[in-house]
Chain A
């Protein structure tokens, strides 16, 4: 939530719990701020010494990433996820160091204040009048297996501040008149509570699709699209139909063996659109679009297939069976709907 609520203390407590359960836990980086409670909590846990880097003639303590990777514990505690590293280290930001540690198969416990979250940066600045410079992308938080909110009422936090448990005595008056005003802390607390509630809801939503599929009843639509901008109208039309029917929508993109950069770009755009619509975007590779679409429709128990008008057949292709006929034959009992292109119609 904010500095002084006890994030580092809680991280260390979690680390001690893991160690007591028999896991190999080390402190990768600790920002004790001279707080006696924090130092006491860290006592007894192995700590990888920070490396000292000179930046603008000042000695700066930083996480020793190579040493952490060499030590390779089961769990590493790394404080202050949003921290910006001194120039010349492996990465510019600590969350990038953490990504390397995770990639090495090491679990990481870390800490962060809500105002450092990139998407909330503007809002926090508007609410508190203080622009936080160090931010980290939302995807880092979204990728966490678990998010724990360390909550404290504004009154209790100010009490801790006054008691000298957050900053040294000489910094307390400035803090109380600046960032640590009750209204700021209340706003930050509300944002933090909402953010964690969102995280819980997002995880719940991610678990739902597979369960929904298991009990698939009623209508289920499959939009068959090519990775081109014009195909967006098929998704739009299919989504509207799905809304009316109260049905789930799957969007299937069938790519050839070597998709172009433009096609890959469109797939990314369709994935983002699918997330906003609550649709499931499926990307398959295959030479035969009909065969892939038929397989996916059976797997997803689709009741409708929506597609654009097939391109005019030229040359020898005119001799073959039209794509729509093949699809109808491959999917008996499934409605196939051709979505018209109305963009050229008169307004």
Chain B
């Protein structure tokens, strides 16, 4: 009888612990926001992981923003389904990685005539505490040196520039 009671008690405690663990792992959005603009169809996992680590340490929401150049043949506010398809593939890959890291994300697509114009519009529209960007390397897409220089000169607040290691591009889902 006592053994049965103890067994039941252990079961209840285990269940409570499970509930506590589950609640702790739930990803909740934070008021602090780290803007993570990226370009192209390939994104370095090393750069993303660095941005996620940054966000996790600061208990911040990561705001990955796919910069989508809009060709001159289209109005700036025209639908861009091709770009959105590519952006969505990357966004879903990013969300999976962020979920595994326990970081809340709030995805964006930032259109513009050029990467720099898209960046400028993004900075005007978004609320953020810090910007993390990956610079272009021979192995992965990123912001060009000129765009990084522009960002450092014009973006208010702290800018962290990452030079990703030589790794495979983030695979779209």
Which residues in A have some Cβ–Cβ distance to B below 8 Å?
118-123, 138, 142, 191, 194-195, 198-199, 201-202, 205, 228-229, 232-233, 236, 239-240, 243, 262, 265, 268-269, 272-273, 275-278, 342-345, 347
Contacts and interface: CB of A to CB of B under 8 A. Distances in A.
Contacts of B91: 232, 236
B84 A343 contact: no
Contacts, number: 90
Interface residues of B, number: 37
A188 B127 CA distance: 35
20 contacts: A120-B113, A121-B117, A191-B72, A198-B73, A198-B74, A198-B76, A201-B74, A202-B78, A229-B61, A229-B106, A233-B95, A239-B88, A243-B81, A262-B29, A273-B109, A275-B79, A276-B79, A276-B111, A278-B81, A344-B100
A347 B113 CA distance: 34
Main secondary structure of the interface of A (DSSP, over half): helix
CB-based closest 10 A-B pairs: A278-B79, A229-B106, A202-B75, A343-B99, A343-B95, A198-B75, A119-B113, A344-B99, A194-B72, A236-B88
Contacts of A268: 125
B68 interface: yes
Contacts of B117: 118-119, 121-122
B77 interface: yes
B114 interface: yes
A276 B81 CA distance: 7
A127 B171 CA distance: 36
A195 B72 CA distance: 8
A268 B81 CA distance: 19
A75 B114 CA distance: 36
Nearest to B83: A276
Contacts of A347: 96
A243 B84 CA distance: 12
B108 interface: yes
A121 B104 CA distance: 35
Contacts of A195: 72
Interface in B80-122: 80-81, 83-84, 88, 91-92, 95-96, 98-100, 104-109, 111-114, 116-117
Contacts of B114: 122-123
Of the candidates B76, B79, B92, B114, the one having the most CB atoms from chain A within 10 angstroms of its own CB is B76
B79 to A, nearest CB: 3
A122 B61 contact: no
Contact of B76 (A138, A233, A236): A138
Contacts of B84: 239, 276-277
A313 to B, nearest CB: 16
A83 B88 CA distance: 40
B75 A201 contact: yes
A278 B81 CA distance: 8
